[in-house]
Every structure is written in structure tokens, then in C-alpha cells.
A and B are shown apart, each in its own frame.
Chain A
Amino acid sequence: MFTSFNKKAFDYSDEAVKRDFELLIKALDSSVSGIIITDHKQPDNPIIYCNAAFEKITGYARAEIIGHNCRFLQGKDRAQQARQRIATAVEQEKECRVEIRNYRKNGDLFWNELYMSPVRDASGTVTHFIGVQNDVTLRKNAERELIEQKALMEKRVEERTAELRDSEAFLSSIIQTVRESLLVLDPDFRVLSANNHFLRTFKVNSQETVGMPLYELGNHQWDIARLKELLIKILPTNNPVIDFEVEHDFPHIGRKLMLLNAYRVELEGQYKDQILLAIEDITEKRDIERRKDDFLSIASHELKTPLTTVKGFMQMLGQLRPADASERYDMIFGKVTLSIDRLNALISELLDVSRIQSGNIEIHHDFFDFGKAVLEAVESIQNTSSSHQIEVSGTVEVEVMGDETHIVQVITNLLSNAIKYSPDADKVSVHMSRVSDFVKVSVTDYGLGIAPEDQSKVFDRFFRGQELQKRFSGMGIGLYICDQIVKSHGGTLWVDSVLGKGSTFSFTIPVNGQQSNEQ
């Protein structure tokens, strides 16, 4: 239809012209683009025509704008580059296409995609300009949003990358700072990374370490049978290896005692099956512990010698007691003798600790009459205590395999504690029984009791409850020794206690001696 829409197709009768003109007007009014015509021959290019779409886009009625220059559309926003291009096009009588910020009558901004072209008469003189306007606000907004989104995304990516970099640097600085050697191994035990402490401790550099199989490191110095066993046998069972002690003689740095902790990464992804190996050098720590134990041992030996002298002279003094010695003399003499015995007991405990620490505690395994031993221990403590009555219940009529002296030591220690820590009570209960293939002894006092948070600590070496510290003397080693003795017999020692009501210490000993350790 449009192809036939040319001059020849028009009928030039008045009626026909009018009809065709109305048709064209209708066509223009049905366009979605705003269309205006300005008269170039008049000053300031006034608008002489606008279509319905122009009214709709701008919000202005035809009557309000006919005769005006188009610039009212720009409102106060006059400094736009596009405006300059329009002015130039008008001046040079050329067509132009711009996107310009325009304002509706109500002041709302809209983006106007303006196509403007000159209309020439037969002589070529420009008579009019036709402006076609499209509201491209939505598209412009979408474009702008897209740009903003993109910028935002880029910013976010940058931030995340920086965060990752930071956190990686942070983690890596932690790994480099810890005073423990850390290695990361791939599933074939090749070193992926080694921290500074590892390099320093084992006097190697990272070039000769990273990328190498663990066992080939430093001239095969890490080719340690125990370590291999640990990595090959234990780790694949998905059990982490915790505090595994390995002693190894390294060619350059000498004998090292190490505590190994190994963990296999089970996460899916890039770290899967990598092995984290933490190596703690405890050579020095052990050495210090050993020296401390040696000190304990020497100190208590040295203390015993003058104690022997004092005890000997006291005994002689006892022989020289005048026949008419006063009651006061005997009382003082008795107190000195008691203190000497106490001092001796304390030193003996220290010696026991040093023996236990150095693994020198000697347990003699013989069958002995357990029930009789308990009764004898009770009797010996009862003889020294007039404040408390020791009540015994139950019987054990079986020979038990173990060290009678040490078992008696445990019972007397528990009994002395029971009396010591129940100053306001007047009795202590002892119960003995046979339980399955164990014998069991419980010593109950009706005294201070032990706070729940302290109950697990009372068997620790040199532990003293806060309250005890203030009211009672002691070194905090008696229960430690008892626990060690019971353990070395294959039994257990434990406490049930209610603060303010009293405590029951119980232990078990296997009747036929320790079996678990012999397997």
C-alpha cells in the first residue's frame, strides 16, 4: 500500500486533496512517535504542527505549544551537549539524531530520542524541520542500570578478591607464625607446603622441601618407619592421628623427640585427601621435665640425710631422758618426734613422685591377704587418731596379686585424707568387697567434700583445692601417688563427693594382677 503512496497516486481535486490530507493527519496521529514540524522561514523556528503522540509524550496540549520554539522541552537543563548539536544542525540545515533529556509539562524527566531533518522546497531552500521524538526513558534507564550493575559487580568482585587475598594472607601469616612445624602433603606424601617453623627447626629451605616426597626430604632423614606406618596404616582409616610420639636421630640436628598430629582433609574439591601434618618438637620440654624430676629426686635424697641425723639424735636424747622429766618435757619430745615422722613422710612422697615420673616405681607382684592388709592399714591409722572412729564393713576373703606395701600406702593415704578433711566429723567409714574379678575399697568421710569442678583434678600432681590451700597444709601429691599406684596395678581410683557433705574415694584392683598391660 505504501509503495503506491506517491504523488501520481493522488487525486488533485479539492475534495480529494482534503480527503488525502485528513488521511495523512490520521496516519500521523496514530504514530507512537511524537512528530512536530517547525517553520524554518520564521524567526526562532516556531512549532507549526504536533501530532497526538507528541502531546502524550510531553504532556503539553497542542494549543500550548504551537508558535513556541522546541527548547521549552529542555526546561532548565540547558547545558546539554545534545542541544549544541541540534543548534548546529539547524544552522547548517542538516539532519541530526540526538538523545536529549527533556521534561514533561509536570516536570518529569524523559529521555527523548530526537530525529530531526530539514524539508526543502523545489529550489532547495529549507522551509521546515520535521522532528520525530521517541520516549526512550525506559531503555535509557535500563542501559544506565546495566552500567551501574556492571560497575557494582566489578566493585564486588574486587572487594571479594581483596577479602580472599586478605584472609589468605591472614591464614598464611598464622601458619607462618605458629611455633609448631606444619606440613601439607598430597595423597602421595609429596610436600605441598611447609611453614617457617618447620624450615627453621629442621634447618632446611623451602626449595629443597616443597615438591619433594616426604620420605626423601633432607637425604631421607624423614624416612622414619613409625611415621610411615602412621601415614599409610592409620590415616586412610579416617582416624586423625593425635599426639603420636616419634623419636628420631636427624643427621644435622641430632636426636629429636616429636609429637605428631596428622589429619586427612575429607572435603570434596581441590583440597581433598591432602594431609596436614603438625610436628611438635618436645625434645627440650622432655629434657626440662626430666631435669625437674632429677631435681626432685636429688632434693629429697639430700633432705633425708640431715633428717636421719636429727632422728638419730632425738632417739639418743630419748635415752637420756631424766627419770623425773616433767609431763611438759614428754609432750614436747613427742611433738618433735611426730614432726620428724611427718617430715619424713613428706620427703618420701616427693621421692615417690620423682620415682613415678621417671618410671622407677617398683611394683612387687605377690599374692597377699587383701582383707588383712586393709584391716592393718585401718588399725595403723586408728592408732594415730583419737578424733575419728574408723568403721569397717564388708570382707574380702581372697588373696590378691599385687604390691602389699603400695596398696597399704594407698589405703592409709585415703584414710589420713578422710580424717584430715573432716575436722568436724567423728567417724570415717571403710567398705571392702569383691566385685567380679576385682576387689574394691571405699573410704567415706563426712567432711568438706570437693567442688564438682575440682573432682577431676584431685588426682593431678601438686593440685590443691582453693579452699584447702587456706585451711590445710599439704603438697597435693598424695592422691596423685595413690592414683599412679592403683593404675600400675591395673585398677581405677575415683571420687564421689558432695560439697559440704563429704567424699567417698574408691579404688579397684584386679584379683589376679594386671592383665591389660600384658596383652
Chain B
Amino acid sequence: MLTPIAPRVAGRVEGLLSSRWLSPLNDLEAIEDLIGRFDATWSLTRIKARVVAAIHETADVRTLILRPNRLWPGHAAGQHVLVEAELDGRRVRRTFSVSSPPRADGTLSITVKRRPAGKLSVWWNERASAGDVLTLGVPAGDFVLPAQPPRQIVMLSAGSGITPVMALLRDLGERAPATRVLFVHCAHSRDDVIFRDELEQMAARRPRLDLRLHLTGTHGRLDAAALSDLARTAGRDLTFVCGPAGFMEAVRAAWREAGNEDRLVSERFGLPASIAGGDASAPQSVRAERSGISFVAGGGKPLLAEAEAASLTPAYGCRMGICHTCACRKASGIVEDLRTGHLSDEPGEIIQLCVSAARSPLTLDL
């Protein structure tokens, strides 16, 4: 498993102390464990953040305000970050957009919509409370404003895709109030509009913000004609778009048609892979990351046999789920344990190839 490490500090500390001959004096994990006992956010190498407040945005969306430790390198509005929490003994990771611009007090906000199948998002919405500590990765992503914000900007979002856009909007309000913004946001109903109160206040306060809420529950989704109109309105203006895959595709098509696809900046949300794990007999494509080989796995056969059929040579032993010789990290996708029917759907889980079958397209560390 990757561990989010602040590279600058990690390089210094680990370079100094990493010799195996100094073990156990340089057991970084033991030192981290000790430091963490004084304060759970203290760490030499990891960005830890404490939840300082929680805000219910809508019935199924919640913002947590986090105060990271000093290893947090700061982020640009619009970037995303890997979040790791330990839930019932299991470390679970997801990438979320930061919904706040950089703040002087060092806090950041992350806003997450509850998805019934997502362990972390359910915890985020139902159980997280002030004082909980999370581990963060280094912020990343190109969904950011140019250093010199342009005079006119268009922003389009749908559903929870509003979160990085909101960071941009808040940032613009502070840094470049002169920029003219057209912001079109789609949501099912008024009650589903995340940040609605703040948006309406902003619109009232900022004459250069043209806020248009499109409620799909009453008016249906934005159709091709409406998007073409928008694309014409936007013209060559820089356009930020974030939302579900279908929405992004439709926007991209409209902008392409208008000849302005190069002006689109988009943020793709990792959507949860198909929910229940597909049909057991359906063949799935598997990508072996390290060897660069892709193959098709039949749904009923163990991945070990399928990988071997594709001329890969994973280590193995008992071929019956006992010895863990074939244990392999699954980067993404869903597999079923053929012994128990248990589905592994979290990215980064370790699976036993000899008793696991593909239930969705997979990426394996092979």
C-alpha cells in the first residue's frame, strides 16, 4: 500500500535513518506510534488532519472542516486529495475534492455525498465527528485557476461535482472579484443543491456572478440544445466542468461541436464501479499494472489461473486459499472470494488470486 508521505520531510528523515543495520533503533513505525500517542495528528512523515467541525449541507451531503498538521503543503483551489480513514479496523481510501480555497487559518473543507455502497462516504455522513483524525495525501490535480485569473470564466457542475467548483468560486471571490463568472449548476431539486444558501448569498452580493440553478427533477437534464446554447454563450471563455460521467460527456460534445473543446478544464470523479459486482459469468478485463499486460478473466475462474493463461507467472502455493503466497494488491475493481462469495470492492485491498474471481474490470499490482 502506498503511504501518503510529505516528500520533503520524508526524504530527509528516511534518508538519515533508513539503514537496515540500525534496526530496530530506526523503526520509524514505532517512533510514529509513540509520537501519535501524545497527539493523534503528530507525525514525522504523514499528513494527519483532525476534524474540527461538521456541517450538514443537504440530507445526504456533509462537509468536514479539517485542521491538518504542519506537513500539509497547502493546496490550490480545485485540487483533490487522497483521504484515508480507519473504519472498523480497516483502512479505507478515497480521493475527494477540497471544497475550500486556501485559508489563512490553515483549515480545509471537504464535502462528501453519501453513497450507500461507499464505506468512507457513509462514515463521513453518519459517524464522523469533531476530534476524529484522518490521514491525507498530497493535494493534486489541474482543475485550478490560471495564476492570473481571466476576466470571464464559465463553470458547469452537476450533483456533487459542485465541490471543486465551489472552491474555485470562493477563491475567485477573494482573489479576483473583478472576474465575471457564469455558473450553471444542475441538481435534482432545490433541497439537493449543495451550498445553496451560500450560493444565493454570493449571487446577491457579487454582481459579476451569474448563477443559474437547473433543477433536473422539474425540468429534466440539460439537453443537447441547451448545452449548445451554453457553449455558444461561453465561446472562448475558460470553462470548468465537473460532474457525473454522462454529464461531462454531454458537455464535452457540445464544446467540441462549438470548436472550443480546448477551453474545457474538467475534473472526473472516480465513480463507484458497478454496484453489486456484475454477473458472475461475465468476462472482465484485467490490467496487470507492473507487467503491462491486459487479459480477459472469465467470471467463474480464479484470477490466478486466468493470469497464468495470459502467460503471467504470479507467485503461488496451495491454490486453495490457505498460504497467501499469491496475495496481490488490487488497485481497483471488484472481485469475489469464490469460497465465501464475499465481494472486495475497496481499492487497495489485498486479495488472494487463487480464490478470487473478477466481478468488474480490474487493475492488479502484478
A, B co-complexed: no
